[in-house]
Amino acid sequence: MTKASVSAPSRRQLLAGAAAAGALLPFGARVAAASDQRLVAAPARLAIVGGNHPETEVWAYNGTVPGPLLRVRRGTKLKVTLENHAADTTSLHWHGIRLPNAMDGVPGLTQKPVGRGESFVYEFEAKDSGTFWYHPHWKSYEQVERGLYGALIVEEDHPPVVDRDVLWVLDDWRLTSEAKIAGDFGSIFDMSHAGRLGNTVTVNGKIAEEFAVRAGERIRLRLLNVANARIFGLRFGALAPQLIATDGHAIAPHALEGNRVVLGPGMRADLILDCGGKPGERVTITDDFYPRQAYRLLDVVYGAEPLRAKPPETPFALGAPALPEPKLAEAERHDIVFGGGMMGRLSEAEFQGRKRSMREIFMQHRMAWAVNGRVLAEHDHAPMLTLKQGRSYILAMENDTAWHHPIHLHGHTFQVIARDGAKTARTEWRDTVLMNPRERVDIAFVADNPGDWMFHCHVLEHQAGGMMAVMRVA
């Protein structure tokens, strides 16, 4: 494994000579505790790379990337006013939150786009505890890449006792050697391949070097992947964390499969890190999801003073999620096939009401993906399926492409019940599930939230490239 390894220019090349190396970063993001919030989307200049590199022009909420951490108790009624002073129309989508359709933040589907100088008030109750996030749903492939994103943490009624509750927002930027965000948003190459993979990985908006811990400490680590396209596969070595939540929802605590946590764009994982090492020790956290581009994310560094002799042994399982359990025996089943992309075998699809060859769709309309043989343009919102409110559904999904896709459903939380025909061991709750190339994944949920809901790939270039559909619940 090399240290510098994401595609050129690598973060280490970019970092050459930076004074940032070795600095301890303050990992606490700004916390906004009140339920009445104002988020102002506007351009800002921030030291993303750090050291003697120039600041990066970003778009930010309230001048920070990530935007303010919204942290509330479960059951809180949130009121968030979005003010748009960015250079484009925008909106706010509350990723993973089960809220009224009108608050879902999808321009053209659930609300009018929020133009420059305009504002919109989002009001909803945080009914589920967990780690969630917010981001625009308008040209997301550009706006999220520019820095418009933030986390929303909804606290459990009885959270496990830990010494620290820490959030790492993982992002991947494509920067030029002057630390500018490369302007090739939504390029046709990125759209038809793996999406916009960058060259600079940040944790909470900065290149991370070290994360300080104390011997005997117990940390709840919340991971959130806000990258357009990068999938993270983090290895924690001797720290051997336990996974306690997927996309915010409780799962019976267990060790990571292969000691690695895999997070596609949009996905979250909550871990318990028991720091069982000795003062002065270091543990390197690596990301080897793309094996030939493995790199060191950061080092966990034990301080000189232990906190206690060893980490606590108290239980840390989260309470069972209060989500509607799908009734599998009577669930209605729908097949969903994702097709297209480079090296895809889909030859034709429907686009804007007419069957065309994928070649024509790609060359003339710059779209590359289809759901059930249909390529959805960003502002085409005809529903693919109409689901009966209150009924249980199984979506039997097939990834008939050569690429990974994190598939996200709005307004609902689903259970992952099978992979390639085999029952999953833990039927975890998610709002975004990562499908491997050619993999089949079955999900089940109760369609209990009326409205028109987006269902799309969270590789934002794939979404823009047609890998989208609308589910109507009525």
Q: Where along the sequence are the contacts to ligand C2O (CB under 6 A)?
A: 93, 95, 135, 137, 266, 408, 410, 454, 456, 458
Length of the chain (residues):
474
The rounded distance, in Å, linking the Cα atoms of 29 and 202 is 13
The rounded distance, in Å, linking the Cα atoms of 173 and 205 is 10
User: Rounded to the nearest whole angstrom, what is the least distance from the CB of residue 294 to ligand C2O in the complex?
Assistant: 27
Using CB distances below 5 to 8 A depending on partner kind, what does residue 410 bind out of ligand C2O, Cu ion, none?
Answer: ligand C2O
Residue among 185 and 211 whose Cβ is closer to ligand C2O = 185
Using CA atoms, how far residue 346 sits from 193, 218, 338, 342, in Å, is 15, 49, 10, 10
Residue among 154 and 469 whose Cβ is closer to Cu ion = 469
Enter the tokens of residue 19.
């004074």
Enter the tokens of residue 225.
């992947």
Strand ranges of the sheet holding 56-61, from the earlier edge strand across to the other edge: 56-61, 36-46, 77-84, 119-125
Site for Cu ion in 450-469 (CB under 5 A): 457, 459, 462
Residue among 146 and 456 whose Cβ is closer to ligand C2O = 456
According to DSSP, residue 256 is labeled P
Using CB distances below 5 to 8 A depending on partner kind, what does residue 405 bind out of Cu ion, ligand C2O, none?
Answer: Cu ion
Using CB distances below 5 to 8 A depending on partner kind, what does residue 95 bind out of ligand C2O, Cu ion, none?
Answer: ligand C2O
The rounded distance, in Å, linking the Cα atoms of 453 and 106 is 9
Using CB distances below 5 to 8 A depending on partner kind, what does residue 206 bind out of Cu ion, ligand C2O, none?
Answer: none
The rounded distance, in Å, linking the Cα atoms of 144 and 183 is 13
> Residue 142 in 3-state DSSP?
helix
Question: Per CB under 5 A, does 368 bind Cu ion?
Answer: no
User: Rounded to the nearest whole angstrom, what is the least distance from the CB of residue 396 to Cu ion in the complex?
Assistant: 18
Site for Cu ion in 388-427 (CB under 5 A): 405
User: Rounded to the nearest whole angstrom, what is the least distance from the CB of residue 267 to ligand C2O in the complex?
Assistant: 10
Q: Taking a C-beta distance cutoff of 8 angstroms, is the pair 202, 48 a contact?
A: yes
User: Rounded to the nearest whole angstrom, what is the least distance from the CB of residue 458 to Cu ion in the complex?
Assistant: 7
Using CB distances below 5 to 8 A depending on partner kind, what does residue 146 bind out of Cu ion, ligand C2O, none?
Answer: none
The position carrying tokens 């680590």 is 221
User: Rounded to the nearest whole angstrom, what is the least distance from the CB of residue 132 to ligand C2O in the complex?
Assistant: 10
> Residue 23 in 3-state DSSP?
coil
Using CB distances below 5 to 8 A depending on partner kind, what does residue 454 bind out of ligand C2O, Cu ion, none?
Answer: ligand C2O
Residue among 11 and 462 whose Cβ is closer to ligand C2O = 462
Q: Taking a C-beta distance cutoff of 8 angstroms, is the pair 35, 121 a contact?
A: no
Sites of contact with Cu ion (CB under 5 A): 405, 457, 459, 462
